[in-house]
Structure 1
Amino acid sequence: MNPRILAVDDDRCLLDALRRTLCRRYDLSLAQGPEDGLYALRECGPFAVVLSDLRMPGMDGIRFLERARELAPDTTRIMLTGHGDLDAAMAAVNEGHVFRFFTKPCPPDVLVRALDAGVEQHRLVTAEKELLRGTLRGCVKVLLDVLGLVSPEAFGRGERVKSLALAAARRMGLAPSWRLELAGMLSQVGLVAVPQEIVLRRFRGDPLTDEQQAVYDMHPSVAAALLGQIPRMGEVTELISRQGDCRLGGECPTPEAALLALCLDLEDLLAQGRDKRRAADSLRQRWEMREPQALRAVLEALFEESGYLPERLPLDRLREGMVLDADLRDEAGTLIMARGQHVSEAALLRLSRLRKSFRLPGEADVLRPLAPSEGATPSVEERKQDDPAPPDGPPGPAGA
């Protein structure tokens, strides 16, 4: 298969000349102007090389190639320019925007050699990233396999944390993040160094001695030490190593860190035998003032399957579609609205009138209907941009 080249110029005659010169050697696409070029990069890529003129109306070649680098960072960039534009072209090269530049008219044999060099540069870049991606994926899979063998309970906990954190991230409108996915899966990997008796007691919610607690609390730093040896895992390692500080009241540096800490707290509460509602109440007490957006997203993800989130709301915040989760009574005990009753326009009007004559409580326990998660599948460009070597996908469970 011939290498894919994208040529961008506002001069149709020059594009036709390039087609005649290059079409037999390359899989050549032509774009008349920078906007068409950006569209081709978004919709028709990937390309090994993009060849652009410098002087184009609306957007010059330097700006176009900057945008091209954002859309397709692995694509090699080459510029054609006139003699009067040498300073601008050299600046673009020095700033890292382009691989090579040539003055027009450029002899065909010189241009072909430059394109061949650009194709080889693209091959080297992509091969290195594929090697790094494979290395990263293999290392992560080994760690997860070991965790699954040593402590199936810890492995399962990590899987649950990962799933809930990703669902909460979608509800927060965060871009899909392989870092959060791996941080959830690997958040428990340091437990391979903790005696399993301590791990099981902790997961059952049994009390630990001060010495046992100190041993258990070492697991994030153990995980950080293990992951610190793997390329491209710095941000994942940071998320995992900071989980203890964030959960103990320290600052959560990113929304992802807050989500991870919240999900781990929730796991602990559920392990202690609390049902979802009691666990949600405990989370609200701990996190509502610190991370209200992350808390809301985690609770919505937790109750996503049921379609309703239990909340206690002021009466003036009740809305149509909500359902009473407990009887609403006045100060004398008279039933105003029964548990399970749907809040309707008529019910809201009645409450408004009753509040003038009866001493009603200030709040009501309700079930708020959840909107569907608005998470979207990322585009190829979104996954590549600023994300040079993620795994191709999450490794399978141990033994898979």
Structure 2
Amino acid sequence: MTEEILLVDDEPAVLMGYERLLRRELQVTTVIGGAAGLVLLKYQGPFAVVVSDMRMPEMNGIEFLLKVQRDFPDTVRVMLTGDSDLQTAIDAVNQGKIFRFLSKPCNKETLVKTLRDSLEQHRLVCAEKEILENTLRGTIYVLTEVLSLVSPAAFSRAARVRRYVQHVASKLSLENPWRLEIAAMMSQLGCVTLDPDIIEAVHAGRDLSPQEQAQYIDHPLMAQELLKSIPRLESIAWMIAHQNRQLPVDWDVGDSEMREMRLGAQILRASLAFDLYLRKHRSSVEAALSLKRRFEDLDLRIVDALVELEPEVAGGGASSMPITELTAGLILDEEVRTGTGVLVAAKGQEITAPLLLKLKTFAAKQHIPNEVVVCAAKQQSPAPPAASDQVVS
């Protein structure tokens, strides 16, 4: 984590004074003017703290720090100015999200204390961000594990759809592909609220009754309810809730985040339908043609990207292995079902610690065989079992 401080002013003599005053106590870099400061931040940043003068030509301190806040949100911002106007201070704090506002002349003791406080604030911001990211990562892991244990078929489908959206996101050069990947993995989360027989019917390609169809169509809304309160997953929850809806993207209307969310929902919708068509046609080209016929409103770039894909299932060196000898990371090369036909784990599902415990428990109670067929990796291979042409996401 950097502890460098960037000082920005339009007067070289002032910057030289800062260097003489601070260089023995803090890591400081100086630059003349806001425009040069932004260039330095881009190519030599990020900096922990940025201190800017208010009165600078071409770009004043508020304008400069507002750009810093937009492009480098973790950088702590300090304003230093000889302007005693109260409105200037208010604008600096409200618009530029300034941490501290100092008036010139500022003695060394006050300046050094402010910079040390700013460095401590930066440490807190970074620590909070790390905690949030680790919490988010752990939450996603737990939710996917729950889905894999409660509804193996839904989890298997989510994993396939994730691969599709990864490819589409790469082809379309999306700025935040991680959001779409998480949305794909969470797209079937609402299935945990459904009768397992409905999930089995959908993934076997059997027709649903009108009542079952209505329940299944609503599962994305259940996923949204489960996700919308988790920080940083609000946009992902929105994409999932709209994954069954026609949402053409108008690139000239709305803000960039909303356009990204609408495009993400459209990619999800296409990928989910593509998955079902692929199971029926066993060819990405034929599946894409069905997709074009069924969804004329789709962005053709999405369809063109999906054409390049072939289904992926477990394969390569498959062998039968006692459940007691299984280890995490192996891939199931067959479905695991109880004697009554209940799906315990899906073909292509990765062995994780929770799944291994589940398999051992079922085997100990003689609900499933003591051996399963597994392999060590995944590769391109024939399509999943055929399904009907019925499209439900």
TM-score by length of 1: 0.69
Shift of 1:226: 1.8
| Whole-angstrom CA distance in 2 between matches of 1:214 and 1:85 | 62
Indicate the residue corresponding to 1:5 in structure 2: 5
- Within 5 Å, give how 1:338-357 maps onto structure 2: none
Shift of 1:179: 2.0
Shift of 1:112: 1.0
Question: Residues 220, 64 of structure 1: CA spacing in aligned structure 2 closer, same or farther, 3 A cutoff?
Answer: same
Q: Could you tell me which runs of 5 or more consecutive residues in structure 1 were left unpaired when the two chains were aligned.
A: 307-395
| Whole-angstrom CA distance in 1 between matches of 2:18 and 2:47 | 16
- Within 5 Å, give how 1:309-328 maps onto structure 2: none
Q: Which moved more, 1:297-306 or 1:186-195?
A: 297-306
Shift of 1:273: 4.2
Q: Of the candidates 284, 289, 295, which is equivalent to residue 281 of structure 1?
A: 289
Indicate the residue corresponding to 1:319 in structure 2: none
Shift of 1:111: 0.6
Matched, 1:43 2:50: no
Contact 1:165 1:298 (C-alpha < 8 Å) held by counterparts: no
Shift of 1:107: 0.3
Q: Which amino acid aligns with 2:268?
A: L
Matched, 1:168 2:172: no
Indicate the residue corresponding to 1:140 in structure 2: 140
Q: Which amino acid aligns with 1:25?
A: E
Shift of 1:144: 0.5
| Whole-angstrom CA distance in 2 between matches of 1:90 and 1:232 | 29
Indicate the residue corresponding to 1:297 in structure 2: 301
Contact 1:55 1:81 (C-alpha < 8 Å) held by counterparts: yes
Deviations 1:318-346 (A, max 9, x none): xxxxxxxxxxxxxxxxxxxxxxxxxxxxx
Shift of 1:237: 1.0
Indicate the residue corresponding to 1:257 in structure 2: 265
Indicate the residue corresponding to 1:27 in structure 2: 27
Shift of 1:16: 1.8
Shift of 1:257: 1.1
| Whole-angstrom CA distance in 1 between matches of 2:154 and 2:244 | 16
Shift of 1:3: 2.5
| Whole-angstrom CA distance in 2 between matches of 1:257 and 1:2 | 37
Q: Secondary structure at the match of 1:113?
A: helix
| Whole-angstrom CA distance in 1 between matches of 2:2 and 2:49 | 12
Contact 1:8 1:32 (C-alpha < 8 Å) held by counterparts: yes
Matched, 1:399 2:352: yes
Q: Secondary structure at the match of 1:184?
A: helix
Q: Secondary structure at the match of 2:244?
A: helix
Indicate the residue corresponding to 2:108 in structure 1: 108
| Whole-angstrom CA distance in 2 between matches of 1:274 and 1:156 | 17
Bigger radius of gyration among the two: 1
Which portions of structure 1, spanning 4 or more consecutive aligned residues, are displaced by more than 4 angstroms?
Answer: none
Instruction: State, as a whole percentage, how many aligned pairs show the same letter.
Output: 41
Contact 2:224 2:241 (C-alpha < 8 Å) held by counterparts: yes
Q: Which amino acid aligns with 2:307?
A: F
Contact 1:146 1:398 (C-alpha < 8 Å) held by counterparts: no
Q: Of the candidates 238, 254, 271, which is equivalent to residue 279 of structure 2?
A: 271
| Whole-angstrom CA distance in 2 between matches of 1:44 and 1:398 | 43
Contact 1:34 1:64 (C-alpha < 8 Å) held by counterparts: yes
Shift of 1:73: 0.9
- Within 5 Å, give how 1:63-82 maps onto structure 2: 63-82=63-82
Q: Which amino acid aligns with 2:275?
A: E
Q: Which amino acid aligns with 2:181?
A: E
| Whole-angstrom CA distance in 2 between matches of 1:303 and 1:285 | 14
| Whole-angstrom CA distance in 2 between matches of 1:89 and 1:179 | 37
Contact 2:8 2:32 (C-alpha < 8 Å) held by counterparts: yes
| Whole-angstrom CA distance in 1 between matches of 2:177 and 2:264 | 9
Shift of 1:267: 1.2
Work out which structure has the larger RCO, using CA pairs closer than 8 Å and 6 or more positions apart in sequence: 1
Q: Which amino acid aligns with 2:43?
A: E
Contact 2:2 2:47 (C-alpha < 8 Å) held by counterparts: no
Indicate the residue corresponding to 1:128 in structure 2: 128
Q: Secondary structure at the match of 1:243?
A: coil
TM-align CA RMSD: 2.6
Deviations 1:98-157 (A, max 9, x none): 222222221000111111222222222222222222221111110101112233332232
Number of equivalenced pairs:
303
Shift of 1:305: 5.7
Contact 1:2 1:26 (C-alpha < 8 Å) held by counterparts: no
Q: Secondary structure at the match of 2:245?
A: helix
- Within 5 Å, give how 1:372-391 maps onto structure 2: none
